[in-house]
Amino acid sequence: MSSPDLTAAGFSLEPSADVLEMRDWVHDFARDVIRPAAAEWDEREETPWPIIEQAAKIGLYSLDFFATQWMDPAGLGMVVAFEELFWGDAGIGLALAGTGLAAVAVASNGTPEQMGEWLPQMFGSPGDVKLGAFCSSEPDAGSDVAAIRTSAVYDQAKDEWLLNGVKTWATNGGIADVHVIVAAVDPRLGSRGQASFIVPPGTPGLSQGQKFRKHGIRASHTAEVILDNVRVPGRCLVGGKDRLDARLARIAEGGSSGEQSAMRTFEKSRPSVAAMAVGIARAAAEYATEYSTQRHQFGRPIGQNQAIAFMLADMHASVDAARLLTWRAAWMARHGTKFGRAEGSMSKLVAGETAVRVTEQAIQILGGNGYTRDYPVERWHRDAKIFTIFEGTSEIQRMIIGRAVTGLDVR
Ligand SMILES: Cc1cc2nc3c(=O)[nH]c(=O)nc-3n(C[C@H](O)[C@H](O)[C@H](O)COP(=O)(O)OP(=O)(O)OC[C@H]3O[C@@H](n4cnc5c(N)ncnc54)[C@H](O)[C@@H]3O)c2cc1C
């Protein structure tokens, strides 16, 4: 086991001039539009449609923006954008970024025709914005993705797929126009027998179940999605039937199945999710630092106490460490460098845990004020917690890293 040979591939984390310009543009939107609205939408616990519209109007909520950042040659566009958005607010940030998860599921595994048909429909257009939802989790299949029970049965006569099951925890679930559903084509094969299906807008049989009332990221809609005899055309199988049949045939012959599609989506999206957590952590570190220079006790700024300054030192150091892991993983993903030690999972694990710890330290530095809703750090702390849970819990990330570094079947 050795560290990845980054130098051989021209490893560099220097953002391009385009990325730096984009960062400042997104930052201005986060500072001027998202932050001032954050407390209100957290309290309302509703999708912030007017903010999504505003973002669409300037081209920030658009397929073009996401595609450009995703294609950044250094791999840094998306992570830089997400850090700024989530620095503004995580709930609104996720309301803007949630569609990206569904888009990535289609972009990573879909055919060019599927990308051309469905990605624009996930975003809509200014004045008529739309959302996408990626639905993998189920009541009995959270961390254990292989346990997915939602079934997909092929109706050859009609060239249609019949989907039945219950999805849970779906970001934008039920309010999205396009849903991407992970379902079991052959449940006996666990995750190797799964595939993703696009459910077009207005398809009968798909409905929203309960909407969850959450601890944090409350401006982001999270709900169950019920699939009751949902019929989708054959062309909605992500990647196409030929590819699925070839994969199932390889498995039947005892060969390798390759990575199954949901796992591939998670792997690619992990550094992006890590970047969101970095954004929250940075917001908290900056806010607490500023506060520590303004608040006086015992006749001096509280930041002059080593106890506070050392805490700030740890906070800033760990935010930078989390960002570097995130950028490294994003660079590796873009350059097709093998994640030999689960570097994507490392970024998500460290960034998520950092966000929780740093936002908690920020509350401590603000004292009583930090514990109230008059100051943003208590909201940031609530928001940060999701990053140790979704897109694979911290325990699951450790399991993946543990397997990668030991080569053992860690359970
Ligand atoms: C706000 C929110 C938004 C979400 N958005 C989406 C979405 O858009 N699409 C989607 O598909 N899903 C989404 N999820 C689901 C999310 O990915 C799952 O909640 C997560 O994978 C954990 O699954 P679970 O909640 O069933 O927990 P469980 O799997 O039941 O885990 C419970 C606890 O047991 C631990 N655990 C489980 N297995 C092991 C093991 N083998 N070893 C050690 N510890 C273990 C976990 O780490 C955790 O601490 C979202 C969840 C939330 C809360």
Q: Which helix (H) or strand (E) holds 180?
A: strand 178-184
User: What contacts 317, CB < 8 A, 6 or more positions away?
Assistant: none
Distance 222 CA to ligand 1 centre (A): 13
pLDDT of residue 1: 47
Q: Which residue has the tokens 């196409």?
A: 240
CB 125, CB 57: distance < 8 Å: no
C-alpha distances in Å from residue 385, one per residue of 6, 47, 181, 323, 356: 32, 20, 26, 18, 6
pLDDT at res. 146: 94
Distance 6 CA to ligand 1 centre (A): 32
Digits of tens for pLDDT over the chain (411 positions)?
456 656 556 899 999 999 999 999 999 999 999 999 999 999 999 999 999 999 999 999 999 999 999 999 999 999 999 999 999 999 999 999 999 999 999 998 999 999 999 999 999 999 999 999 999 999 999 999 999 999 999 999 999 999 999 999 999 999 999 999 999 999 999 989 999 999 999 999 999 999 999 999 999 999 999 999 999 999 999 999 999 999 999 988 887 665 545 555 566 789 999 999 999 999 999 999 999 999 999 999 999 999 999 999 999 999 999 999 999 999 999 998 888 899 999 999 999 999 999 999 999 999 999 999 999 999 999 999 999 999 999 999 999 999 999 999 999
Residues in the chain: 411
Instruction: Decide: 139 and 133 in contact? Cβ < 8 Å.
Output: no
**pTM strictly above 0.95:** yes
- 162 and 201 in contact (C-beta within 8 Å)? no
Nearest Cα residue to 222 out of 43, 390, 394: 390
Amino acid at 167: K
Protein residues whose CB sits closer than 6 Å to any atom of ligand 1:
101, 134-137, 142-143, 169-171, 214, 217, 222, 386, 389-393, 395-396, 399
